[in-house]
Amino acid sequence: LEQASDDGTRKWLLRVDSGNCIEAVFIPERDRGTLCVSSQVGCALDCSFCSTAQQGFNRNLSVAEIIGQVWVANRALGRDARVPPEAGCRKRPMGKTPQGDRIITNVVMMGMGEPLLNFDNVVQAMNLMTEDFAYGLSKRRVTLSTAGVVPALDRLREVSDVSLAVSLHAPNDALRDELVPINKKYPIQALLASCKRYLEGKPHRRITFEYVMLNGVNDSPQQARELVRLLADIPSKINLIPFNPFPNTRYTRSSDAAIDAFRDILIKAGFTTITRRTRGDDIDAACGQLAGKVLDRSKRALRRIPISVVAAAPAHPAPAALVHPCTAQQQV
């Protein structure tokens, strides 16, 4: 199943087995085309502001299922860009524009799941993305995003040189424990120490820190100044992400004024800071909104159903995570 947003974003719902579906998203921009790829069916973590996390977790994706998302998107985008037969030209390589430009220029491992918890398969898939005889992407144009699995991040440094994005979202442990529970196991200072190790020997590289803007939670000027102190000695780029709502969330998006004030403090302190423009929210393809369909082995989604609803439900209800249609979709 493919959906197209009014802003040009495209989302594919892909069946990976008889009971599970994942989602991949393509975001076109003037100078690049970015494909957001999933690494797990659901997510093994439990970040409170993320729709994917609310679906629970089923399993890791295989190498074929990860790279298959690139193949499906590349085929669909290449098909749409083909030169008409009457133009008298040979068919271009799949995934190229009439001018020969690459359609998918960047891949971000920012879809469903925590990539470092599917380490071997994700690394092999990224190797194919950067292989000259496969997709031939620059390592700087493949980005892995992690919530902070420190041992796996240290291991990644030994086997890969892709760009790194860290889902930070809070300037202190007390708040990050609430928003990103893995922080209880790998606190901020341990995570940042691992980030510094990842940059060793890479003098011209920076780490992108992702920071979702939650109204009244993590968006105050005081928290911006706290973030400045926290990242002072790490080569950084900061992406501020306006929160994208989903059903039953308790969070709301920070106001434009609050986001701008937060950003201005970071810029004044010398940080390259970008407020990410929300793309694809009309088809639930924006950051934090991917859901797919998950046969939830963790029972996380079922535990979130209010007691009153469970009591009134039939004897054998379908879990909320299974409501998403996934019967006639394309299989990776």
Beta bridge partners of 287: none
> Phi, psi at residue 124, to the nearest 5°?
-65, -40
- Is-contact 148 179, C-beta < 8 A? no
The SS3 of residue 272 is: strand
70, 127, 125: which is closest to 102 by C-alpha?
70
For strands 236-242 and 207-213, give the pairing. Answer: parallel
Q: How far apart are CA 196 and CA 207, in angstroms?
A: 9
Report the residue count for the chain.
332
> Phi, psi at residue 159, to the nearest 5°?
-125, -5
Q: Is 23 a catalytic residue?
A: yes
- Is-contact 26 104, C-beta < 8 A? yes
- Is-contact 107 34, C-beta < 8 A? yes
> Phi, psi at residue 167, to the nearest 5°?
-80, 95
Q: Is 287 a catalytic residue?
A: yes
Catalytic option among 21, 23, 65, 114 = 23
How far lies 297's CA from each of 55, 59, 235, 301, 319, in Å? 10, 8, 39, 9, 11
Catalytic option among 21, 50, 287, 326 = 287
Catalytic residues: 23, 287
